[in-house]
Structure 1
Amino acid sequence: MSLGARIFIMMCRKSDKKRDKGLTVPPGVETQCGISYGSFGKWSLLDVYRPKSVEGKLPVIVSFHGGGWVYGDKEVYRYYCMELAKRGFAVVNYNYRLAPKYRHPAPLEDTNAVFSWIMKNKDSFGFDTDNIFAVGDSAGATGIALYACILTSPSYAANYSFKPPAGLKIKGLALNCGIYDNEKRFGGAKRLDFVSKESFKKSLSEMTVCKHITEDFPPCFVMTANADDLSAESPPFVKILGEKGVRHIYREYGTDDHRLYHVFHCDARSEDAARVNDDECSFFRELMG
């Protein structure tokens, strides 16, 4: 693992620990945790959160966590995902294999296994699989957007050995503070923790969302923050969505007097995060018709 990745992980752990200190499971949410969805031990675990007040089938939100492909797990994202569950959704929060031990396309393979698990277990867990949505931030926004490309572009899907489960359709995405052109951002690098040296250029091309959008890409809520270091990544991506005729909403949160930073929406205590999560869940409900 590179020194840069080690420093990044250390900073993230410190920040996330401070953010979530003292938080507990909200009283209105029921949890089922540590469910195995695959064959990679601790990497292949997921949680399901539901609002206690609602019985029967619920629309589903799947969360692809961020962390630069080298950091993060479902524990880091549990309180954020529980906030989404409070808004009337069954939320699936999962681990996936991390770099540098596991590199592209391992996270996408794991994501496919999660969606396969959802389709197989829809009755047992009360999933309304006619209304499946997904959220991702930072690297997670990249990852879930790439998986949506697999579902909507046969030519792109041909790059991968796995097949999505029959009948799966992601009805809408919320993409938060993401990177959508890995070729542009990392093309000059000599080494990256999340791609192999042997397939460096090919992997970066495969991981460049902007290259693989079709008119069938799911409707998107694209969010960034005014003080996010990655804020410049979103407008070119949004432009492509418009050119392809993909339904979308683009929002930059924060003002000159109120600066907001990378993945601020994950803070369960924040009124700003609550506003974003309300906006994105409202967008999902509109798509349900």
Structure 2
Amino acid sequence: MEQEVIDAIMDFRAGAKASDDKRDEGLPTEVDGVKRINDISYGPDSKWNLLDLYLPKNVEGPIPTIINIHGGGWCYGTKETYQFYGLNWAQRGFAFVNPNYRLAPDVVFPEEMDDVDRYIHWVADHAAEYGLDTNNVFLIGDSAGGQMAEQYTTILTNEKYRQMFGYELTDLHFRAVALNSSANFMFDPGTITDVVSAYFTPTVLESRHEQVDTEEYINDDFLPSFICTANNDFIRNNSVKFDGFLTAKKIPHVFKMYGDDQNPREHVFLINQKDTIAKQANDDEMAFFKKYLAK
């Protein structure tokens, strides 16, 4: 891999972490009503195959469960960055599975998806141990994680596509998916930037074209979807296009764009636990999930 791509990734990581740390400064890592369990191993990589689990204490019976796929351009992000977002979901009454996964340039497509599949199987294998409701599971992804959430939903709901990855279904019953500032339509011009090309390399795009072209395999069984973006989201048009795509296929979904000229919002704004518009977005997603909860 060219050194300029490595340098671009290092610069991106440094800038993103500084921004995320500033956003989350002062937030508590322990919150009322939530039990957190840190650094659970779900796979062979001792550094990256780890997840945190946040459990609400005030829920009777099996706990409806959210499995998160974090964003970060396929080359940045950790569960520590998403802990405050996950703790908030646990305070809302959902178990929240908050994993790490390996990052580019150490891995290329579909190895991050392989980690997602590993931790989804971990949830299925350990649900009874932690009181998780296997009949009410929800998937959330933002940015690059949104692309992977879209892709994994397609894997779940299209056997032909699933066979391309060699994955097996679990007994988890996924009810809906939330795609937040999602990076859809990977072959659209401008989607594969220098940083992104560390994961979706030219060789990958040629040899695994069908796997990357997820939208070609979305069928009527795709999960009910909540699509969230913002007026100043730099990939806002991806979400707008995906709204139209699901509308044409008559797949149940909600599309929301937050922010306006007086109160603009940016990419993945809803992770910000200090923001009132982010709270509204999370309230809307929670209402959407609750609509699909099985009794």
Separation in 2, partners of 1:247, 1:187: 26
Choose the corresponding residue for 1:32, options 32, 37, 51: 37
1:103 to 100, 108, 117: 108
Match of 1:57 among 45, 58, 62: 62
- The secondary structure found in structure 2 opposite 1:43 is coil
Q: How does 1:1-289 map to 2 (within 5 A)?
A: 1-24=5-28, 25-165=30-170, 167-186=171-190, 192-203=197-208, 205-289=210-294
Q: How many residues align?
A: 288
- How many Å separate the matches in 2 of 1:189 and 1:256? 28
Quote how far apart the aligned CAs of 1:258 are: 0.7
Residue 50 of structure 1: SS of its match in structure 2?
strand
- Once the two structures are TM-superposed, the CA of residue 122 in structure 1 deviates from its matched residue by 1.2
Task: Tell me the CA shift for residue 170 of structure 1.
Answer: 1.7
Letter in 2 for 1:123: A
1:42-88 deviation line (CA, Å, top 9, x unaligned): 11111111222224311000110000000001111000111111111
Distance 2:34 2:188 in 1: 41
In the superposition, the TM-score normalised over structure 1's length comes to 0.94
Amino acid at match of 1:276: A
The one-letter code sitting in structure 2 at the alignment partner of 1:8 is F
More off after superposition, 2-11 vs 182-191:
182-191
Change (3 A) 1:60 1:188: closer
**Aligned partner of residue 141 in structure 2, secondary structure:** strand
Residue 74 of structure 1 aligns to a residue whose secondary structure is: coil
Distance in 2, Cα, partners of 1:245 & 1:199: 31
Other structure's SS at 1:222 match: strand
| Inter-partner Cα distance in structure 2 for 1:194 and 1:32 | 30
Amino acid at match of 1:27: D
Say whether the 8 Å CA contact 1:210–1:237 is kept in structure 2: no
Asked if the contact 1:51–1:88 (Cα under 8 Å) also holds between the matched residues in 2, the reply is yes
Give every structure 1 segment of 4 or more consecutive aligned residues whose post-TM-superposition deviation is greater than 3 Å.
185-191, 202-205
Deviation (angstroms), 1:243: 1.8
- What is the RMSD of the two structures over their aligned residues, measured on CA atoms? 1.7
**Aligned AA for 1:14?**
A
Structure-2 separation of matches of 1:125 and 1:223 = 30
Other structure's SS at 2:178 match: strand
Cα distance, 1:245 vs structure 2: 1.9
How far apart are the structure 2 equivalents of 1:188 and 1:287? Answer: 34
Task: State the one-letter code of the partner of 2:181.
Answer: C
- Whole-Å separation in 1 of the counterparts to 2:210 and 2:190: 10
Query: What letter is aligned with 1:169?
Result: H
State the secondary structure of the residue aligned to 1:149.
Answer: helix
The 1:186–1:156 alpha-carbon spacing in structure 2 relative to 1, beyond 3 Å, is farther
Using the alignment, how far apart are the partners of 2:24 and 2:209 within structure 1?
33
Show structure 2 runs of 5+ residues with no match: none
- Once the two structures are TM-superposed, the CA of residue 36 in structure 1 deviates from its matched residue by 0.6
Structure 2 Cα separation of the partners of residues 80 and 153 of structure 1: 30
- Alignment-mate amino acid for residue 95 of structure 2: A
SS of residue paired to 2:242: helix
Q: Is the 8 A contact 1:180 1:208 kept in 2?
A: no
Quote how far apart the aligned CAs of 1:195 are. Answer: 2.4
